[in-house]
Amino acid sequence: MPERTAYEIVLRGRPSLRLLRPFRDDFVIDTSVENVTRLVGEISDPAQLHGLLLHVTSVNLEIVSIAPAPTPEGTT
């Protein structure tokens, strides 16, 4: 089984929780910065990442960045 990787996906704006439904269970949704939504969570494989990105683009959300998220100290 592939190792899960933490990712940070940054979106422009504040989409509704309905639009972010695929992220709600496995991601932390942070809207503390104005006009930006930051999603941080673990993704199990490239297919899951591509599926999430397909959803984001299908509902016309603007992606600012996608990057591996730092892992907490002492974990692998």
Mean pLDDT over each residue of the chain, to the nearest integer? 90
Q: Quick one: pLDDT at residue 70?
A: 79
Question: What single DSSP character describes residue 76?
Answer: -
* Structural domains of the chain ordered from first start: 6-68 (3.30.70)
Average pLDDT over residues 33-54: 94
Rounded alpha-carbon distances, angstroms, from residue 46 to 4, 15, 32, 35, 49: 10, 24, 28, 28, 5
Q: What confidence tier does 75 reach under pLDDT thresholds 50, 70, 90?
A: very low
Q: Quick one: pLDDT at residue 4?
A: 87
What's the predicted TM-score (pTM) here? Answer: 0.85
Reported as a single tens digit per residue, the pLDDT across 51-68 is 999 999 999 999 999 999
List Cβ neighbours of 51 (8 Å cut-off, separation of 6 or more).
Answer: 22
pLDDT over 50 (residue 72) = yes
